[in-house]
Structures are given as structure tokens and as C-alpha cells.
Amino acid sequence: MMAAERGAAANTLSAYRRDLCGAQETIGPLAEAAREDVARLAAAWAALAPSSAARKASALRQFYGFLVDEGERGDDPSAALPRPRARRPLPRLLGHDDIAALFTRAEEEAAGNAREAVRLLALLELLYGSGLRATELVSLPFSAVPRDAPFLTVTGKGGQQRMVPVSNRARAALSRWIALRGGAEAVGGRFLFPSTGRDGHLTRVRLFQLLRALALRAGIAPERISPHVLRHAFATHLLEGGADLRVLQTLLGHADIATTQIYTHVDSARLVALVNARHPLGQARGAQARAALAAAPPGV
């Protein structure tokens, strides 16, 4: 049902399967579990982060809802599941200086036209310049490369297609990469970024590793970098520049604008910090606090 009716992505299906199998290992066959059995999951999930417990509970609620709809059960025991309050964390951010450092290093390394360096520059341009998800990027077919129109046709979550803009910089980087990669007849010709040494495309894990290695060489803490962090930077910096939230939703491929609205909180946090740092009252209070601390007796 999740695949055929909702069009859930492969990663989503895999996550649901893991959650349901994990619950079954704890309480036995899920289809036969009583309300008391389901209630035991709260203790089993006690050590989990609220967001993880909420995700597992959601998977089970949907599972039992499906059984009721199909007539497999006459009752729904999911009311006994815990309801942890999972706060959506603000995305990790990269400032403009960090982005500049990443691109400077990538461009320096690609200056010699080495195949791996040019590929990494093209990947970086598409992550930050078009806001692609990691899976969308590595699985891009060669046929998605723009010829006349400056757009990529991307297949996102649930098999939904959307068009995303490709900047002049990204198009130039892609042209350099294709010249080294070869055309559609090259090894791995189906994919824009084929895997090395096997049929298929570059993996998400390898993309993650390449970006963290680049960050280290650029003088940025590697743990601050990931493909999704660059997607966040794309969205945040567009919003800072005045992009409309609905346009941003379309570019990111969000089914629900509530998902896109997280970036308004990011921008609001930046504005609060700006007011505290630049507003005369904020500066005056900061100066008073520093003066009081300097006048305090030792040890206070």
C-alpha cells in the first residue's frame, strides 16, 4: 500500500520495514498483538530520542490503521503507543564564508582538470546551486543534463518529478565533467555520475565521504558538512535573499509547505541575533553587563 498507493520512496519503505520488524521482535507478531502488548513498547523505546520514538510509533499507527481498513482487525491497539513530543531541530547551517571556502578549494583542485576533482566540483555546484537531495543527485540519469533550457528534471521522493534551475556556474562545471566522463556511450552511461569500478551510480555514502574530505582540506570541521547541510544552505541563503516560500517549496520538492517553513525559523533566529548584536539597546545592555562583571569582586 505504501509503495503502490502513496508512492513512498525506497528509503521510506526500508525505514518502515525496520521499525515494524523491530517492534515485532519486542512484542511478537504485530497483527495479533493486544493493546497490552503494544503498551510495552513505551518501555522498550525509553532510551530513544523523542524523534526516533515518534517515528516508530507513527509507523505502527499506520500499520494498524491499514489492518483495520482491510478488515484484518476489528480493533486498533495503537492508542496504547507513546506520544513523545518531538521538536523538529533547526537545520545545521553553513555561513557564506564557509561556502566560499568550500568552493575556493574545489575550484583550485579542479584547475588541473583531474577527473575526480572536476566531478566533485560539479557535485558541489548542484548540491548548493540547485538544492538537490543526495539520492536525487547521485541517481541523476545522463538524459537529465540540460541542453537548451537551464533546468534539470529531477525525480524526488515518491517518484514525483520537478524541474530545478541550473546556474551558469553549474552548467559550466557539468560541461567540464561530461568532457572528461564521456557521453552516454561511456561506462555507466545511464547515469550522470557513474560509480567507479562497477555498474551503477555514485553512492550516497561515497558522496558524503567526498564532501567531508573536501571540508577538511578547506579548513572546515568535517562534521559540519553533509549533502543535506548544503541543501539547507541553498534554502536558507535563498530565503535570506528574498525568495518566496512557495517558490522555495517547489524548488526543494516538499509535498507540504510546513516542511519548508522550518527555514523561516532559521531566518528568524538570524534576525534576532542581528537585533541583539546591532540594536543600540542590545549593545547598551551588553556593555552594562560587561561593566558589572568587571566591577564584581574576585570569585563572584
On whether residue 242 sits in a domain, the answer given is: no
Active-site amino acid positions = 133, 157, 228, 231, 254, 263
Query: Are residues 167 and 205 part of one domain?
Result: yes
Paired strand residues for 165: 151
Let me know whether 42 and 72 are in one domain.
Answer: yes
Q: CA nearest 136: which of 122, 152, 120?
A: 152
CATH number at residue 199: 1.10.443.10
Domain-embedded: residue 263? no
Q: Is residue 123 part of a domain?
A: yes
Q: Residue 271 domain-assigned?
A: no
Confidence of residue 300 (pLDDT cuts 50, 70, 90): very low
Q: What is the pLDDT of residue 232?
A: 86
> Do 17 and 75 fall into the same domain?
yes
* Alpha carbon distance 120, 211 (integer Å): 8
User: Given its phi and psi angles, is residue 133 left (phi above 0), alpha (psi -120 to 50 degrees) or beta?
Assistant: beta
For the record, the C-alpha cell of 105 comes out as 578549494
The rounded percent of the chain whose pLDDT value lies above 70 is: 79
Q: What is the pLDDT of residues 137-167, one digit of tens each?
A: 898 888 887 776 687 777 777 677 788 888 8
Q: Tell me which of 22, 49, 80 is where a domain ends.
A: 80
Do 162 and 73 belong together in one domain?
Answer: no
Whole-number pLDDT of residue 298: 53
**Does residue 140 lie in a domain region?**
yes
Together in a domain, 72 and 172? no
Residue 36 included in any domain = yes
Co-location of 112 and 187 in the same domain? yes
Kindly give, in sequence order, each residue whose CB lies less than 8 Å from that of residue 270, ignoring residues fewer than 6 positions away.
240
Domain boundary pick from 80, 114, 130: 80
Mean pLDDT of 218-224: 92
Are 65 and 118 part of one and the same domain?
no
pTM: 0.62
Residues 101 and 218 in one domain: yes
Please give the tally of structural domains in the chain: 2
* Residue 260 belongs to some domain of the structure: no
> Are both 120 and 144 inside the same structural domain?
yes
Distance CA 259, CA 293 (A): 43
Three-state DSSP class for residue 155: strand
Do 64 and 102 belong to one domain? no
Residue range of the domain that includes 214 = 96-224
